[in-house]
Amino acid sequence: MLKRFWIHGVAAVLAICAGVAISLYLETPGQERPSIAIGGPFTMVDQDGQIITKQNLDQTAVALFAGFTHCPDVCPTTLLRLSSLMKQLGSDAPKIRIVLVTVDPERDTPEVLKSYLAAFEGDFTGMTGKPEQLKEFAKAYRLFYEKSGTGRDYTMNHTSGVFLFRKGGNFQGTLDQHEADDVALRKLKMLAGV
């Protein structure tokens, strides 16, 4: 009898705690939910060897993709798709800056990035830096990457989504490689303020 009372008492306390947690989590009308903290200060270089910082990126909306020039499939496919989506945006395309940040700074020098990005139609910004700069950038922007394999033919595992940031640097959401192009285009139009 005492054991049953104790079990019911514990269950009641847990239910109350769960209710309080849920009520704190749910939005109340008129209350804006805080944005996810993604991003932070950084200093890297672009494909022209010029210093690039968060302040540079914050001047426009940004679609940021982590990849590398030796990537066999996901990276070129993503850049081709972004190129196509930007064409569909037409005159609103310049409102969004497409940025490829390399996760392979060992091989991806500014010159290599410049040559690689020239193969894609559109105005792309490439970013690279020292390994420690990339590590700090990845931590601030919540990007995953790791080296796989050894020798000259190693590859890189990395985050494959495209991160979207409003002008000013606030995180808006992501583009996923599996979502339909019309959905991705709507997201980019929202990002551009169309």
Give per-residue pLDDT as tens, 122-177: 899 999 999 999 999 999 999 999 999 988 889 999 999 999 999 999 999 999 98
In 2-144, the DSSP E strands lie at 43-46, 51-53, 61-67, 96-102, 124-128
- Average confidence score pLDDT of the chain: 85
Task: Indicate the SS3 state at residue 166.
Answer: coil
- Please report the sign of the dihedral spanned by the C-alpha atoms of residue 117, residue 44, residue 75, residue 81: negative
Measured in degrees and rounded to the nearest 5, phi and psi for residue 31 equal: -95, 130
The full set of domain ranges for the chain reads 43-192
Q: How far is CA 37 from CA 100, 139, 183, 185, in A?
A: 20, 11, 24, 24
Q: Which pLDDT belongs to residue 144?
A: 95
**How is residue 85 written in tokens?**
């989506």
pLDDT > 80? residue 116: yes
pTM: 0.79
Q: What is the mean pLDDT of residues 77-97?
A: 95
pLDDT tens, 23-66? 333 344 455 555 568 999 999 999 999 999 999 999 999 999 99
Does the 43-192 domain belong in CATH 3.40.30.10?
Answer: yes
**How is residue 145 written in tokens?**
């990457």
